[in-house]
A and B are shown apart, each in its own frame.
Chain A
Amino acid sequence: MATTVLYHDKVSQIADASADGDHLWVPVANLERAGGWQLKPEGACKGEACVPLPRDGSWLRGDRFDLAALARHVGEPVVHDDEGRVWLFAEPAEIKRSRLQSGEAPDFALPDLSGRIHRLSDYRGKKVLLYAWASW
């Protein structure tokens, strides 16, 4: 049975992945599809940015790679269901903090009732009262 990986906003079904406690062993060949990572001589890479692998080899087991260990190493919150079939990787808190530390209002894109998408940045040039509420 395939494992569902929710990596930030991307969803993928990864065959032959296996969960072992808080470790998720993903076939190296599927690493890029699951989380956007590529294994290179420098380490696990996204574009030019690479994370060196630990010398003890603990992230590799045969042809599988521990995506959860890598993600936690780069500060991503990692959670999974009790059965280990659905794994969710989220944006590091550090990135969320640095966004607010800039003083810029974080941009977003959300639909109105008719489905039209509005971005906060569409309203640049106006004063905006952003008002979060709930119908309950």
Chain B
Amino acid sequence: MPVWQAIYQELRDQNFVVIAVALDSAGAAAAREPIEAAGPPPEMAAVLKNLMGWDDDVWSRIGRATYPCLIDEKHVVAELYDMVNVPTAVWIDERGRIVRPPESGGSTDSFRKMDPTTFALPEDAATAARKARSVYLEAVRDWVKNGERSRHAYKREEAIRRTRKPTEVAALASAWFRLGKYFQEKGDLAAAQKYLKKAVGLRPESWNFRRQTYVLADPALTGQLNSQPEFFADVAALGDKLYYEPVDMEGMPKRD
């Protein structure tokens, strides 16, 4: 979250705000540390910067978030916007209309090439990650400056067309997820896991659902970059399929 502070600080005078929503079942307990931090832990900083594709300029300006950072234990926003992964970003104009639908926000599959022990990225993957991020950030700047005249802001009909709408199966999966959350709140983690897995079974493309099953299985995993063996196995199982759909934007590197 500290890194988006750099973008917020840069553009806030142009009537722009970032609203971060933490899709964390563990709620504030899990999200507080990254929200309140002025930056990532020093030993992870270089690795994260590279993995996420942030450039030196943005990275030099990170700081503690002063924009709204909200907590969404029940994944209300994911359900409303049919989001299946994080990070997912949506552009909303001054009238409250969606001008870019949910998309990855410049995150790419480059992370899949990292070294499993050092988390280092090969140089070509790191370059592609930086390129994707910078194309996305330039588009954000262009939209903030030019509004509806920005070529990156879709007209109403196009924005609607590009916004995925929840299917019957997606709505049913969300209902199972909610039932799982109910049992989690009651402290019945075995039942919670059972019903969360029904959600995953109906909607395997939802990494938001999957992530909560990993964390529920071992709450100590929360916040640990390196302790998600099931996650990495599931990502590897994607094979040629993408984890992040590339943002459809001029200049964005295509999948490699």
Residues of chain A having any CB pair with chain B under 8 Å: 6, 77-82, 86, 88-93, 96-97, 99-108, 110-113, 118, 120-121, 123-136
Whether A97 contacts B166 by the Cβ 8 Å rule is: yes
Contact for B175 among A90, A106, A111, CB less than 8 A = A90
Q: What 4 new A-B contacts, CB under 8 Å, besides A103-B156, A127-B92? A: A100-B82, A121-B96, A127-B15, A135-B24
B1-29 with Cβ < 8 A to chain A:
1, 4, 7, 14-24, 26, 28
Asked, given contacts A103-B98, A104-B96, A127-B143, whether A132 binds B165 with beta carbons under 8 Å apart, the answer is no
Asked, given contacts A96-B165, A113-B69, A130-B89, whether A124 binds B211 with beta carbons under 8 Å apart, the answer is no
Contact digits for B154-178, partner A, Cβ 8 Å, 1 yes 0 no: 0010011001011110111011101
Rounded to whole Å, the gap between the CB of A75 and the closest CB of chain B is 8
The 8 closest A-B pairs by CB, nearest first: A93-B171, A77-B175, A110-B70, A106-B80, A90-B175, A97-B165, A128-B92, A130-B90
Whether A105 contacts B92 by the Cβ 8 Å rule is: yes
Whether A103 contacts B97 by the Cβ 8 Å rule is: yes
In angstroms, Cα B181 to Cα A88, docked, is 11
B43 in the interface (beta carbon within 8 A): no
Whether B94 contacts A77 by the Cβ 8 Å rule is: no
Asked, given contacts A110-B70, A134-B211, A136-B228, whether A104 binds B21 with beta carbons under 8 Å apart, the answer is no
Asked, given contacts A103-B98, A127-B93, whether A78 binds B71 with beta carbons under 8 Å apart, the answer is no
In angstroms, Cα B91 to Cα A125, docked, is 13
Asked, given contacts A6-B178, A90-B171, A113-B36, whether A135 binds B76 with beta carbons under 8 Å apart, the answer is no
Contact for A130 among B19, B69, B224, CB less than 8 A = B19
Whether B77 contacts A108 by the Cβ 8 Å rule is: yes
Q: By CB atoms of chain B within 10 A, which of A86, A103, A104, A126 has the most? A: A103
B95 contact set on A, CB distance < 8 A: 124
Whether A86 contacts B179 by the Cβ 8 Å rule is: yes
In angstroms, Cα B90 to Cα A45, docked, is 37
Question: Among the listed stretches B108-116, B118-126, B215-223, B244-252, which one makes contact with chain A, having 4 or more residues with CB under 8 Å of it?
Answer: B215-223
Rounded to whole Å, the gap between the CB of B72 and the closest CB of chain A is 5
Contact digits for B68-91, partner A, Cβ 8 Å, 1 yes 0 no: 111110001111111100111111
Whether B165 contacts A112 by the Cβ 8 Å rule is: no
B68 contact set on A, CB distance < 8 A: 112, 118
Contact digits for B125-146, partner A, Cβ 8 Å, 1 yes 0 no: 0000000000000001001100
Asked, given contacts A101-B160, A111-B70, A113-B32, whether A131 binds B20 with beta carbons under 8 Å apart, the answer is yes
Contact for B159 among A82, A103, A124, CB less than 8 A = A103
